[in-house]
Amino acid sequence: MNYARRALSHAEFVERVARFQELYPGGTQNSGWRSPSWNTHVGSGSNSKHLLGSPLQPIAVDIDYFDEPDESQRLDMNHTARILGLFGLYHNGHMHLQGLPVGPPPAGWRP
C-alpha cells in the first residue's frame, strides 16, 4: 500500500492502527477519544488529538505494551507508524498513534 502522510479519515485510521497492531502484537489500546474533563484529568493538553472525533470514531489512540520495548524497538515502532501514514511516537510507556498531523486539524477535515 502507498500510505501518504496526510490527515486520515476515521476508517483509514482504524485500518492503519490495526495493521500496526498486527506488526507489533501484545499491545492493548488504553485510550481513544476523551471528553475534555477526562483529558484534563489524565494531564493531557487542550490541543490533544484525543479530543477530536467521537467515542465511536477516535482519531488518536494510546497502546500500552506489557513488555517494554528497548530503544531500537521503539525507534522501529515510530518509523513503522510513519510508513503507515500515522503520526506516532512511543513515549511514557505507550505508543501514541494519531491520524492527524501536529497542530490544528486541516480546514474541512471530518472524521
Cell numbers found for residue 56: 465511536
Strands of the 27-31 sheet, one edge to the other: 27-31, 60-65, 94-98, 87-91
Q: Is the pLDDT of residue 6 over 80?
A: no
pTM of the model: 0.79
User: Which pLDDT does position 105 carry in this prediction?
Assistant: 66
Residue 68 contacts residue 78 (beta carbons within 8 Å): no
User: Which pLDDT does position 43 carry in this prediction?
Assistant: 85
Give per-residue pLDDT as tens, 42-88: 888 887 787 887 777 778 888 998 888 899 999 999 999 989 989 88
Give the DSSP per-residue string, 5-17: SSPPPHHHHHHHH
Distance between CA atoms of residues 70 and 40, nearest Å: 30
User: Which pLDDT does position 15 carry in this prediction?
Assistant: 93
**Distance (Å) of CA 37 to CA 40, 43, 103:** 5, 10, 21
Non-local CB neighbours of 80 within 8 Å, separated by 6+ positions: 20, 23, 24
* DSSP 8-state code for residue 104: S
User: Which pLDDT does position 20 carry in this prediction?
Assistant: 95
Give the DSSP per-residue string, 75-105: HHHHHHHHHTT-EEEEETTEEEEESS-SSSP
- Which is higher by pLDDT, 83 or 105? 83
- Among residues of the chain, what percentage have pLDDT more than 70? 86
Give per-residue pLDDT as tens, 9-52: 888 888 999 999 999 998 988 888 888 898 888 888 887 787 88
